[in-house]
């Protein structure tokens, strides 16, 4: 299993003076550490790479025998296409065959407060994807759109099929869509046929006054059927990679019992809502969900590393 750079949110470009957990200043240092702890590859941002750095990444990647997937932003308009083209070229030079992207950096239920706002975002996102397609075709590299707390699974499938390019698919995140009140195992079934890459994670849930709390937890401790998900991805894409995204942070609040949460959804509380809430109640995390706000900088780095190592250990039995 590989590692997504977001698994090291505290350590990536960290300024903390730590002898045990020095910050990763670039992708090569990140790659070296991931290899040292037994990972098979990395997924990391490719923005700002110059041609000579891409070659250095390629040489080290080949030396270590690891896979590389890039993470890239979409062009918002025609004026951003040349920069996107340059980043795709650098990623390919370094050896990436798949580029992960996300249409939204935030979360649907926090960023948008009306259906009109969400529809404007959707139109912009589709335009950006369409602007990217000719560049992908030119470089013969695949783009994988993540379900990033923005699209419900069926919405993302509809977008991918409407654009209809062999170079466009999905980065299947195993846990994100719980925040949109979708069963993670059903989401995996829906998106696996289109998946080019993955974010492997397990999720813990716990009720609170306005809805429920959601956290990444070490693999095997949460509510995702990891083995079934992995097997399904392999069924549709035998060459797919599995990349760990174990984000160590405070629990996210999913305020699904408030009216504001529902502003961008066509459907309202109904049978599916009740089904997912019953699943959450039945599978509440037994202990406290992981938290970092009560830790100092060294403590956060220590917990982050422990979580990644625990997940890698589990994956050797599971994947």
Give me the mean pLDDT over the 203-221 stretch.
97
Could you give the CA distance from residue 90 to residue 82 in angstroms, rounded to a whole number? 12
Number of domains in the chain: 1
CATH of the domain at 76: 3.20.20.150
Residues of the chain with pLDDT > 90: what percent?
95
Distance separating alpha carbons of residues 291 and 276, to the nearest angstrom? 24
Helices (H) and strands (E) counted in the chain, each on its own, are 10, 11
Task: Report H helices in the chain.
Answer: 27-36, 51-64, 81-94, 108-111, 115-139, 153-163, 184-191, 226-236, 271-282, 297-318
Q: What is the pLDDT of residues 102-115, one digit of tens each?
A: 999 999 999 999 99
296-306: b (≥16 Cβ within 10 Å) or e: eeeebbbbbbe
Average pLDDT rounded to a whole number, residues 107-131 = 97
Confidence of residue 319 (pLDDT cuts 50, 70, 90): low
Domain carrying residue 233: 2-318
Instruction: Work out the widest C-alpha separation in the chain, in whole angstroms.
Output: 55
What is the C-alpha to C-alpha distance for residues 214 and 225, in angstroms, rounded to an integer? Answer: 16
Angle among Cα 171, 174, 177 to the nearest 5 degrees reads: 95
User: What is the tens place of the pLDDT at every residue in 30-61?
Assistant: 999 999 999 999 999 999 887 699 999 999 99
Say how many residues make up the chain. 319
Structure tokens, 295: 């830790």
Q: Which two tokens stand for residue 43?
A: 């997924």
Q: What is the mean pLDDT of residues 12-22?
A: 96
112 in Cβ contact with 121 (< 8 Å): yes
| Residue 260: other Cβ atoms inside 10 A | 11
């Amino acid at each position: 299993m590989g590692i997504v750079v977001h698994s090291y949110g505290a350590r990536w470009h960290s300024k903390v003076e730590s002898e045990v957990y020095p910050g990763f200043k670039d992708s090569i240092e990140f790659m070296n550490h991931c290899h040292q702890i037994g990972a098979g590859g990395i997924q990391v941002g490719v923005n700002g790479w110059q041609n000579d750095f891409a070659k250095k990444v390629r040489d080290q990647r080949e030396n270590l025998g690891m896979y590389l997937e890039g993470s890239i932003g979409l062009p918002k308009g025609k004026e951003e296409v040349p920069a996107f083209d340059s980043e795709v070229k650098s990623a390919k030079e370094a050896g990436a065959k798949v580029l992960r992207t996300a249409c939204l950096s935030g979360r649907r239920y926090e960023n948008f407060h009306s259906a009109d706002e969400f529809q404007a975002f959707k139109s912009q996102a589709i335009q950006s994807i369409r602007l990217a397609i000719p560049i992908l075709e030119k470089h013969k590299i695949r783009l994988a759109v993540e379900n990033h707390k923005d699209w419900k699974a069926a919405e993302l499938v509809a977008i991918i099929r409407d654009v209809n390019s062999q170079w466009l698919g999905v980065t299947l995140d195993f846990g994100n869509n719980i925040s949109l009140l979708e069963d993670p195992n059903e989401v995996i079934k829906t998106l696996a046929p289109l998946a080019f890459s993955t974010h492997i994670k397990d999720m813990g849930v716990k009720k609170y006054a306005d809805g429920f709390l959601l956290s990444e937890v070490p693999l095997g401790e949460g509510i995702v059927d990891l083995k079934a998900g992995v097997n399904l991805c392999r069924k549709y894409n035998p060459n797919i990679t599995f990349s760990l995204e174990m984000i160590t942070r405070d629990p996210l609040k999913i305020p699904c019992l408030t009216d504001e949460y529902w502003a961008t959804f066509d459907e309202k509380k109904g049978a599916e809502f009740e089904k997912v809430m019953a699943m959450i109640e039945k599978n509440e995390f037994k202990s406290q969900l992981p938290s970092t706000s009560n830790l100092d900088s060294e403590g956060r780095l220590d917990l982050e590393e422990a979580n990644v190592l625990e997940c890698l250990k589990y994956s050797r039995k599971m994947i």
